[in-house]
Amino acid sequence: MALKFFNTLSRSLQEFTPLDPAGKNAGMYCCGPTVYDLAHIGNFRTFVFSDLVRRYLEFRGFQVTHVMNVTDVEDKIIRNVRTAQIPLREFTGKFEQAFFDDLRTLNCRPPHQTPHATEFIAEMIALIEKLMERGVAYRTPDGSVYFSIDKYRALGGRYGQLVTLNFDNLRVGERVRNDEYEKESVADFALWKGRVPEDGAVFWPSPWGEGRPGWHIECSAMSMKLLGTSFDLHLGGEDLAFPHHEDEIAQSEGCGIHGPGQRFVKYWLHAAHLLVEGKKMSKSLGNFFTLRDLIAKGYTGREVRYLLLTAHYRESFNFTMDGLSAARTALARIDECLGKLTELAGSQAAAPAPELVAKFTEALDDDLNVAGAWGVVFEWVRQCNKALAEQSLTPAAAAAALAAWKRLDEVLGVSPVAAAEEVPAAMLALLEARQAARKAKDFKRADAIRDEMKAAGWVIEDTPKGPKLKKVS
Ligand SMILES: [Zn+2]
């Protein structure tokens, strides 16, 4: 079966075939965080979803280039920098650090590139200049530049590809300066915002005077610079489809750099929103959670990741504390089974059991049907437990089952990674003894200890920061 995704662009399920003629490389852009606050659990639903897409493409043998931007200049940031009265970089830096720490807690693979908007101002200006040359952008007396929806449509551009828009109320030249606006506002949007006193020290020079870029142009400039003018996948939360992604398409395709039939992005994937305890998250309702809030309640990143991965990405998901408790129970069931299998397999090694991997693949090929995939996992756990209880499983079969799980977990990422890497106390004691022997210049003893550790499956790597232990698999 072929891998299929629901493409918002065509509103249909489509087989995934990358633009790369060799069918190997896949470029993927995901709108990253706007670093003005800690990201909340709703934001992380989108990032865990992106991680699932990335991991699954890799599992299916694609060579993925994953780009996620960091929006470090935007309306909300400017507002908060003004309140905090500290330099932009200092303000955004701490939220950016927290965001990447949270991604690690959720065991998301780090994107290959994480461009900052403020480092691509030249590319944004170049893109706006192209739009000016084509007559689809215009300068206003305050030194701002706007995208003309009317001119874009006159040139054959289609505005309203990801969402259905009503053009009956379109008043030509009507403008919206804010980065975020309602679907009803089909109006010219800001590409460059002329400097106003409220911007404080946040501005750059441009051919149109001092100012700062609009949010939408940031993603067009960074994605095309790093992935090429046409790339495979663009991901984000469904709330970004309009205006942000619609504007990205208009800006990118409106600057006339695409050949006939060429598109800015081939597949647009959007993750639905998240409710908490059945309601839209809000601070006043007390159901607003950052990842740190959940960790402080005693939950782990692994449990949160698992829970976020139980819902199909296109369905709105009700995140609850009961759900987190259930996640803990479900993971414990998997862990217990894996523990028994590990014990039985002993030092046996085997190729992954093909049937489990095949069923799992079949489920996820269908637009990332995670419910189906988890169904496969738990049916497998049930059967393993049964066979273990009946003592009908051979060590070789246990090893094959474990190897298959390892394949699955490359996608799911829910194994307790940190715990598996933990160094046993006995090895730490041996390491200490070896260090002592070396200090005493008893190299014969030091080498003997090293050999003993190696036999137990641990190698010592001497680094400038001291010796490190690594498990050999
Ligand atoms: Zn974006």
Per-residue pLDDT of 298-324, as tens digits, reads 999 999 999 999 999 999 999 999 999
Per-residue pLDDT of 234-247, as tens digits, reads 999 999 999 999 99
In the reported structure, the alpha carbon of residue 34 is separated from the centroid of ligand 1 by a whole-number distance in angstroms of 9
Q: Sheet harboring 231-237: ordered strands across?
A: 63-68, 25-30, 231-237, 265-271
Per-residue pLDDT of 117-128, as tens digits, reads 999 999 999 999
In the reported structure, the alpha carbon of residue 236 is separated from the centroid of ligand 1 by a whole-number distance in angstroms of 8
pLDDT band at 450 (very low <50, low <70, confident <90, very high): confident
d(CA 338, CA 177): 55
In the reported structure, the alpha carbon of residue 227 is separated from the centroid of ligand 1 by a whole-number distance in angstroms of 14
In the reported structure, the alpha carbon of residue 73 is separated from the centroid of ligand 1 by a whole-number distance in angstroms of 12
Amino acid at 196: V
In the reported structure, the alpha carbon of residue 333 is separated from the centroid of ligand 1 by a whole-number distance in angstroms of 39
* Mean pLDDT, residues 390-396 taken together: 96
DSSP state of 290: B
In the reported structure, the alpha carbon of residue 216 is separated from the centroid of ligand 1 by a whole-number distance in angstroms of 6
Classify 245 as helix, strand or coil.
helix
CB 84 within 8 A of CB 42: no
In the reported structure, the alpha carbon of residue 219 is separated from the centroid of ligand 1 by a whole-number distance in angstroms of 5
In the reported structure, the alpha carbon of residue 218 is separated from the centroid of ligand 1 by a whole-number distance in angstroms of 7
CB 156 within 8 A of CB 150: no
CB 319 within 8 A of CB 41: yes
In the reported structure, the alpha carbon of residue 347 is separated from the centroid of ligand 1 by a whole-number distance in angstroms of 48
d(CA 5, CA 56): 12
In the reported structure, the alpha carbon of residue 214 is separated from the centroid of ligand 1 by a whole-number distance in angstroms of 11
In the reported structure, the alpha carbon of residue 295 is separated from the centroid of ligand 1 by a whole-number distance in angstroms of 28
DSSP state of 116: B
d(CA 405, CA 347): 17
- The distance between the two most distant Cα atoms of the chain, rounded to a whole number of Å, is 87
In the reported structure, the alpha carbon of residue 46 is separated from the centroid of ligand 1 by a whole-number distance in angstroms of 13
In the reported structure, the alpha carbon of residue 35 is separated from the centroid of ligand 1 by a whole-number distance in angstroms of 13
In the reported structure, the alpha carbon of residue 389 is separated from the centroid of ligand 1 by a whole-number distance in angstroms of 52
In the reported structure, the alpha carbon of residue 369 is separated from the centroid of ligand 1 by a whole-number distance in angstroms of 25
pLDDT for residue 418 is more than 60: no
Classify 69 as helix, strand or coil.
coil
d(CA 241, CA 236): 8
pLDDT for residue 94 is more than 60: yes
DSSP state of 180: S
pLDDT at 168: 81
pLDDT band at 420 (very low <50, low <70, confident <90, very high): very low
In the reported structure, the alpha carbon of residue 215 is separated from the centroid of ligand 1 by a whole-number distance in angstroms of 8
* Mean pLDDT, residues 366-373 taken together: 98
Whole-number mean pLDDT of the chain? 93
The stretches of 237-353 forming alpha helices (DSSP H) are: 246-254, 291-296, 301-308, 321-345
Cα distances from 251 to residues 29, 433, 464, in angstroms, run 16, 64, 49
pTM of the predicted model, to two decimals? 0.87
d(CA 226, CA 61): 22
In the reported structure, the alpha carbon of residue 308 is separated from the centroid of ligand 1 by a whole-number distance in angstroms of 22
pLDDT at 416: 76
In the reported structure, the alpha carbon of residue 32 is separated from the centroid of ligand 1 by a whole-number distance in angstroms of 7
pLDDT at 467: 76
pLDDT for residue 11 is more than 70: yes
In the reported structure, the alpha carbon of residue 197 is separated from the centroid of ligand 1 by a whole-number distance in angstroms of 26
**Residues in the chain, total:** 473
pLDDT for residue 462 is more than 90: no
In the reported structure, the alpha carbon of residue 71 is separated from the centroid of ligand 1 by a whole-number distance in angstroms of 8
In the reported structure, the alpha carbon of residue 179 is separated from the centroid of ligand 1 by a whole-number distance in angstroms of 11
Amino acid at 105: T
CB 251 within 8 A of CB 217: yes
pLDDT at 422: 59
pLDDT for residue 419 is more than 80: no
In the reported structure, the alpha carbon of residue 265 is separated from the centroid of ligand 1 by a whole-number distance in angstroms of 13
Cα distances from 118 to residues 204, 316, 328, in angstroms, run 9, 33, 41
pLDDT band at 473 (very low <50, low <70, confident <90, very high): low
pLDDT at 99: 97
d(CA 165, CA 425): 63
In the reported structure, the alpha carbon of residue 143 is separated from the centroid of ligand 1 by a whole-number distance in angstroms of 24
State the Cα angle at 27 between 23 and 30, rounded to 5°: 145
In the reported structure, the alpha carbon of residue 234 is separated from the centroid of ligand 1 by a whole-number distance in angstroms of 9
Q: Name which of 44, 3, 68, 6 is nearest 269 in CA terms.
A: 6
